[in-house]
Chain A
Amino acid sequence: MGGAQTDFERNWTKEGKNMIALLKEAVEDGFKDAGFTFDEMVSLNKDNRVAAFVGNFIAEQYISQGHLGAFLTEVNPAFYGVPSARYEAACASSSVALDAAITKIKAGEYDVCIVVGWEIMKSVDSKKGGDILGRAAYYEKEGKGIDLPFPKLFGRLADATIEKYGLDQERYLNALAKISCINYANAKRNPLAQTRKWFMSYEEASTRGTESNPNVGGLLGVSDCSQVTDGAAVVILCSEKYAQEKGLKDLAIVKGYGHRTAPLLFDKKIADNANSEYVLPWTRQACLDAYKRAGLTVDDIGVFETHDCFTSSEYAAISAFGITEPGKEWDAVENGTIAFDGAKPINPSGGLIGCGHPVGASGARMFVDLYKQVTGKAGKYQVKDAKNGMMLNIGGSATTNYVFIVGMD
C-alpha cells in the first residue's frame, strides 16, 4: 500500500529526540503515503485483521531498550491491542519482519500488516558502535576486542574474491572505487540520503591509504564503507482481499522472496564456497529462490537495491543477482550496466553507502525504494522501465541472506 523512510541525515540524539519520536514520524509518514489511517487500523483491529512487525538489530546496546514490539503503543493509542513483536537478524532484521508480515497475510491471518524497521546508532561513538556491531558476527571469535570488526570481515571478502577468481587486484579495487562513486552520485538525487551533501570522486575513492581515505579493513578504505546513521522505514502491506474490498488499484505486489542462512563464521563461509562458482553461494541461492518463486529471471528485473554495507558486498551481489557470471562482476561495473542510467541499475537510492545504513531499518528502506520505483514514485531518482525490482538485504558477514522481488502486475 505504501511506505516511507525518515531523513537518514538526521542525528536524533543530537536533536534530543528519542525512539518514540523517530517511530511517530516514520509511522505517520508511512500511513500518509499509503492512505491508511489510525481510525482504519482501530476498525480493522476489532476483528483482529491488523498486526505490526518491528525490525531492529540491537537497541539493547545502543539505547538500553528491549521489548521493542510493544513500543508502537507509545506511538499512537490506535496500536493498543494490535499484535506486534520485534524481529532480529542483525542488519537483515527488518527483512525478517517483512517476511513474517508477508507470510501472515498469505496465510490469511491478517489483512493489513505494518512493518517498521529502525535503529538509533548515533547515541554512541564510532569505536563503541563498531564493537556493538561486532555482535552481528560471532562476537567471541570475530568481534570481541577487535577495532571495527566488520570492515575487517568485508576486507577479507575482498581478499577472498580476488583469490577465488584470480583477479587483478588493481582492477578489482578500481571497480570497488567506481561502485562507491556510483552510490554517492545516486544519493545526490535522493532527498532523504545521509550523504546527499557529501563529496566523493573516483580519484578520492581509488586513492586509499590517505588521511581522508584511510584503509580500515585490509584493502578497503573509508570510501568503501557505508556509514551508520539513525533512521526508520515503514512498509504497509495488505492482502488481495483487502485491496479488493477498498477498491485499491495498481498496487505493487510482493512476487517472491528468498531466505538462506550461510555459515556464521567467516572462515567457514569461505571454506563452504569451494564447490561453488560463487564466492557467497547462499547469497546466490537466496536470489535463485526468489526468482523461482516469482517465476521471473534477471531479464525481468529493471531495478536493484542491494546491501552495499561495503563495496565488496555489492561487488559479490552483482553475480548473485545474475547480472554477470561469477568472476566477471567488474564488467558490469566498468561498462556502466549498474549505473543509474545503465541496463541494470543498482541502488538508485544511493544504497547503504549513499543513503545511509541504520542497520535495523535498511531492509525496510530497500523495500520502500522498490515500491517507489515500481510505482513511479521515486522522484528525482526514478529509474526508467522498472516494472519489477529486486532487493538483497544481508545480516552479518552475508550470513543471513534475504531477497525480495516487488513488481507490478
Chain B
Amino acid sequence: MIYPKTITVVGANGTMGANVSAIFASFGNATVYMVSRDKEKSKKAAIRAGKSVKADSIVNHLIPVDYSNLDECVKASDLVFESAAENLELKIELHTKIGKSLRKGTVACTGSSGLSITRLAECYPEVVRGQFFGVHMFNPPYQLTLCELTASPYSDKAMYADLKEYLTGTLYRTVAESKDLPAFLGNRIGFYFMNEALQYAERYQDNGGIDYIDSLLGPFTGRTMPPITTADFVGLDVHKAIVDNIYENTNDYVHEKFVLPGYVQKLIDEKKLGRKSGQGLYKLIKNDSGDKRMMVYDIKLGIYRDEIKYSFPFALQMKKYLRDGDYDDAIRVLIENKSQEADICLRFLLRYIVYALYTAEHVGYDLRVADDVMATGFTWCPPFAMMEAFSRVCDLGQLMKERLKPEIVNAVDIDHIIGEQIKSKYDYRIYFKAK
C-alpha cells in the first residue's frame, strides 16, 4: 500500500468520522465509503465533511452507505478506518466484522483515543492481523494535524512504514509514533494538565475555584484556551472516560492526578456535560435582548454564578510585556512574582514540562514527539519550546528543583529529563498570547 484509492470509514456520521472522511477525500484524493447506521445520516455527514475542509468538490468522492454495505465496502477498500464511539465491546464487534472481509494488503485502523490496539488487533484472523493499526487523529483534523500512530505486536513492519509515509506525505499529518499504552501520548499529557487544573479548582474553591484557576492558566501561559474551559469544550463525559482509563491502567508518579474530582462527577450525573449540553463547568446564558452572560459553576456553593473577572498583578504584567513582544520580561515576572497565583501558575508549567518529557520517554520512541503532540494536538506551547523560553532567563533545572514539590523531584530525575538539549522546531513566541 502506498496510496489508497478507496477507503471505508466506519462510524462516519460522527464528528470525527465525517472530518476524517474529509481528510482522506481531500488531501488523500480517495473515494470514501461513509458507513453509518443510517444512509441519510451518512449523506448529511458527507455535506459536513465538505465544509470541514472548505471544499465542496470533495463531496463528489464521498459515498454515503449504511452497515448493510459494510462487507462489500471493506472488500473494495485499500484502507478501512473505524471511527465508532469509544466503547471497547462495540469496537470489538465492529473489528471482528471488518476482519471477516478484509483483503490481504488492505490497511485496517481504529481512530480510538486510547483503547488497547493489541486487543483490537486480536479481533482479526491471523492472516490479516498484521494489517491493523491505531491511527488517532485530533478534532478538528483540518486544523489540528496531530496523528498518533500505534502498532500492535502483530503489525506488519513494512505496512507500518508505508502507512506512516502516507499519513505524513499525502495527508499532511504530524505523525507521533506511540506505544500501545492507555490514551497514547497527547491525551496522557494534556488530560493530566486539565484534570490537575480541575483538582486545583476544588482545592482553591474558596478563592473562586474554576474561574480562579482558569484565570491564572490563560492564553498568556502558552495556550489558546484555559484548561478547564478546554475540558468543558471536550465534554465532561469524554474527559472522565479518558482520565478513568489512564487511572485504571497506568501507574506512574502522577497517578493520583488522574482522579476525577467529585464535583465533576456530580455535574456528569446531572447531565451537565459541558458546552455541548449547554452547561457544565461553565454556562453561557443569553437573555431576551441577545446579551450573553458567562456563568461558572461555583464548587463551594454548588450553583452557577457570574464569572469573576480576576486581575492578578502577575498576569497583568505578563500580558503587558507579551503585548509588546517582550517574552523574556514576561517569563521573568512569572518566576519572580511572589503571589500565590504566580506560584500556582509557574508550578503548573514546570510540572507540565516534566510530565510531557517523562511521558514522551515512556510512551513514545523519541523525546521530540512531546513537542509534536502538544503543538499540533492541543495548540499549547510544546515542552521543548517552553524550556527554551525559560532557559533564556533562568537555570531551568535549578528552578524546577527549587519550586517543584519533593515528591516530583524525587520521582523524576530532573537533570536527566531536561538534560537533552533539543532545539524545538516550534516557536514559543506564537503560543504565549497577550490575553
Please give the residue numbers on chain A whose beta carbons come within 8 Å of chain B beta carbons, in ascending order. 7, 10, 14-18, 20-25, 74, 188, 197-201, 203-204, 207, 210-213
Question: By the criterion CB–CB under 8 Å, are A188 and B172 in contact?
Answer: yes
Q: Across the two chains, which residue of chain B brings its CB closest to A196?
A: B172
Q: Which of B284-335 contact A (CB under 8 A)?
A: 319, 322-326
Cα–Cα, bound, A126→B430 (Å): 23
Interface bits B403-435 vs A (CB < 8 Å: 1, else 0): 000000000000000000000000101100111
Given contacts A16-B219, A188-B172, contact A199 B325 (CB under 8 A): no
Residue from A7, A17, A23, A204 within 8 A of B322 (CB atoms)? A17
Question: By the criterion CB–CB under 8 Å, are A199 and B324 in contact?
Answer: no
Please give the residue numbers on chain B whose beta carbons come within 8 Å of chain A beta carbons, in ascending order. 26-27, 29, 50-51, 53-58, 60, 142-143, 145, 172, 219, 319, 322-326, 427, 429-430, 433-435
**What residues of chain A lie closer than 8 Å to B427, measured between beta carbons?**
7
**What residues of chain A lie closer than 8 Å to B53, measured between beta carbons?**
199
Cα–Cα, bound, A100→B360 (Å): 51
Question: By the criterion CB–CB under 8 Å, are A212 and B50 in contact?
Answer: yes
Question: By the criterion CB–CB under 8 Å, are A16 and B54 in contact?
Answer: no
User: Which of A25, A74, A199, A200: most chain B CB closer than 10 A?
Assistant: A199
Residue from A14, A22, A198, A212 within 8 A of B57 (CB atoms)? A212
Q: Across the two chains, which residue of chain B brings its CB closest to A20?
A: B324
Question: By the criterion CB–CB under 8 Å, are B435 and A199 in contact?
Answer: no
Q: List 7 A-B contacts (CB under 8 A).
A: A16-B434, A17-B322, A17-B323, A17-B433, A21-B323, A204-B58, A212-B51
Cα–Cα, bound, A405→B319 (Å): 42
**What residues of chain B lie closer than 8 Å to A201, measured between beta carbons?**
26, 29, 55, 57-58
Cα–Cα, bound, A17→B321 (Å): 9
Given contacts A16-B435, A188-B172, A197-B145, contact A211 B323 (CB under 8 A): no
- Nearest 7 Cβ contacts at the A-B interface: A21-B325, A16-B434, A24-B325, A212-B56, A204-B57, A16-B435, A199-B26
Question: By the criterion CB–CB under 8 Å, are A210 and B56 in contact?
Answer: yes
**What residues of chain B lie closer than 8 Å to A17, measured between beta carbons?**
322-325, 433-434
Given contacts A16-B435, A21-B325, contact A10 B142 (CB under 8 A): no
Question: By the criterion CB–CB under 8 Å, are B142 and A197 in contact?
Answer: yes
Question: By the criterion CB–CB under 8 Å, are B56 and A18 in contact?
Answer: no
Q: Distance (Å) between the CB of A17 and the closest chain B CB?
A: 5
Q: Distance (Å) between the CB of A149 and the closest chain B CB?
A: 24
Given contacts A16-B435, A25-B429, A197-B145, contact A212 B319 (CB under 8 A): no
Q: Across the two chains, which residue of chain A brings its CB closest to B50?
A: A212
Question: By the criterion CB–CB under 8 Å, are B56 and A203 in contact?
Answer: no
Given contacts A20-B324, A207-B57, contact A199 B430 (CB under 8 A): no
Cα–Cα, bound, A357→B29 (Å): 28
Cα–Cα, bound, A74→B323 (Å): 13
**What residues of chain A lie closer than 8 Å to B434, measured between beta carbons?**
15-17, 21
Q: Across the two chains, which residue of chain B brings its CB closest to A222?
A: B54
Cα–Cα, bound, A15→B172 (Å): 25
Residue from A15, A197, A199 within 8 A of B433 (CB atoms)? A15
Q: Distance (Å) between the CB of B21 and the closest chain A CB?
A: 13
**What residues of chain A lie closer than 8 Å to B322, measured between beta carbons?**
16-17, 21
Question: By the criterion CB–CB under 8 Å, are A18 and B57 in contact?
Answer: no
Cα–Cα, bound, A14→B319 (Å): 13
Question: By the criterion CB–CB under 8 Å, are B433 and A204 in contact?
Answer: no
Given contacts A199-B142, A203-B57, contact A16 B324 (CB under 8 A): no
Question: By the criterion CB–CB under 8 Å, are B325 and A213 in contact?
Answer: no
Question: By the criterion CB–CB under 8 Å, are A18 and B324 in contact?
Answer: yes
Given contacts A197-B143, A210-B56, A213-B56, contact A18 B430 (CB under 8 A): no
Residue from B55, B58, B60, B172 within 8 A of A197 (CB atoms)? B172
Known: A15-B434, A201-B57. 14 other contacts (CB 8 A): A16-B435, A17-B322, A17-B325, A20-B325, A21-B322, A21-B324, A23-B325, A25-B325, A199-B26, A204-B58, A212-B50, A212-B54, A212-B56, A213-B55
Question: By the criterion CB–CB under 8 Å, are A204 and B430 in contact?
Answer: no
Given contacts A201-B55, A212-B55, A212-B57, contact A18 B323 (CB under 8 A): yes
Cα–Cα, bound, A198→B56 (Å): 14
**What residues of chain A lie closer than 8 Å to B145, measured between beta carbons?**
197
Question: By the criterion CB–CB under 8 Å, are B319 and A16 in contact?
Answer: yes
Q: Distance (Å) between the CB of B20 and the closest chain A CB?
A: 14
Cα–Cα, bound, A322→B145 (Å): 40
Cα–Cα, bound, A7→B319 (Å): 21
Cα–Cα, bound, A22→B326 (Å): 11
Cα–Cα, bound, A203→B435 (Å): 40
Given contacts A197-B145, A199-B26, A199-B27, contact A204 B324 (CB under 8 A): no
Q: Across the two chains, which residue of chain A brings its CB closest to B224?
A: A14
Residue from B54, B219, B323, B429 within 8 A of A199 (CB atoms)? B54
